[in-house]
Amino acid sequence: MAVTVLIPTPLRSYVGGRDALELEGANVCELLEQLAGEHTGLKRHLFAHDGRLRSFVNVYVNDRDIRQLAQRDTPVKPGDTVSIIPSIAGGTAVDVGAQHVAPLLPKLSHEEILRYSRHLILPDVGVEGQKKLKAARVLLVGAGGLGSPAALYLAAAGVGTLGIVDFDVVDKTNLQRQVLHGTSTVGMPKLESAKLRIHDLNPNVRVETFETRLTAENALDIIRDFDIVADGTDNFPTRYLVNDACVLLGKPNVYGSIFRFEGQASVFYAKQGPCYRCLYSEPPPPGLVPSCAEGGVLGVLPGIIGSIQAMETIKLILGVGEPLIGRLVLFDALKLQFRELKLAKDPECPVCGTHPTITELIDYEAFCGIGAEPSYDGAEITAQDLKAEWDRTPDLLVIDVREPHEHEIAHIDGAVLIPLAELPTRLGELDGHREIVTHCHHGARSLKALEILKAAGFSKVRSLRGGIDAWAVNVDPKLPRY
């Protein structure tokens, strides 16, 4: 009987789409080396150049983090389950609002008593609990996929003040999952759309909006006045920024993340348990983990994870149940399966450990390597220029590095489909003497393809700036956009 190694969604393309592999080995190190040896595309995702396990990849044997066991030497036996968890992101009450001073809790109007009647008859909520919800101030970072269900359910539950940080506008592609917005609000700032919807749902809720990007310069000032933060961000710099700000201010951070058919949720609260950095001390290199815009996401998934965030927030406010402090919930929508992993506080954590080295907010884009990516000056071509050059030089080779299912949605006639994950093993199919232009959806993956081609000795290579989306806008308007 072998050891089952569970493969997370972002890495499945490197193992033929499988979600689990049966491997044999005496310890975690042997399993991972065997895995990387048989599936070479995984190696750079699992190991750094010096052979160390990547800091943004956690490995669990059954439900235990190998960092709390024998690390890579952790023994395994037949029947064990090894989980690879890459970064994607007691019932003690939190001091929320004025709840610790009972006389200061706000009163409920007759209308509110009727509105929240199903709460009031719950013994664990009751009138006192509903007053705690009314006194609470919760900050939502993002009004998108995760922020939408969280905002709706927190507002419906009667959380007195919702703060929302966002600077985007509603786009039609948002509507598949961002249920806070609608067709009538396409083109409207998300904050304005969110405020209209929340006011319609519950006019008793005060909405405070912050139309700005959360940065190291403004995060402490914004977060300071709230009791709990619900993190619905979609990028690593903001995720680490939210974590560090919450640790420095002593605030709970209700975490959620999503990718394709999988989600994660936890509560990071350094006063009582680990923080996000205890789980992932460092971010992955820029571009290694695809965004939802590149990788896709099932529209229902953020509804499930965002609802969990709302539920955990309400539990913290009421001081009931067992919050997800020190626990990470993993959700697989395809299997409809929840799994739970235990998290431990890292005494070496740079922000919440015994001797923290981060005592103020830092440059998070620099920390996450944003701006430090390889430079491709002069290696891009616009859609209009590519069309003109292709007409003059039919021998020009255009390579589509998207996935086959994306190619079915829309494709440029004449382009050759070679998915990015397959490119390193299919270089022999390419003529090094031809001019080559790579393209993807918006341009990020084609730049990675450019790096692979240049490293292999191809010199006449460029990337289509803006990808097939720019082609649809500027060259072929009949092409569907997605």
- Which residues are part of the catalytic machinery? 292, 440
CA nearest to 29, candidates 48, 9, 6, 52 = 52
Distance CA 254, CA 50 (A): 34
Give the Å distances, CA to CA, from 356 to 156, 244, 277, 278, 330.
39, 11, 12, 12, 29
In DSSP terms, which residues pair with 57 in a beta bridge?
86
Tokens representing 312?
A: 């955990």
Q: Give residues with Cβ within 8 angstroms of 64, minimum separation 6.
A: 342
Q: Measure the CA–CA gap between 133 and 155, rounded to whole angstroms.
A: 10
Q: Which two tokens stand for residue 263?
A: 């989600």
**Measured distance CA(190)–CA(168) in Å, rounded:** 6
DSSP code per residue over 371-427 = T-SPP-TT-EE-HHHHHHHHHH-TT-EEEE-S-HHHHHH---TTPEE--GGGGGG-G
DSSP-assigned letter for residue 52: P
DSSP secondary structure letter of residue 54? P
Longest CA pairwise span in the chain (Å): 80
Distance (Å, whole) CA 355 – CA 93: 27
CA distance 241 to 277: 11
β-bridge mates for residue 263, sequence order: 258, 331
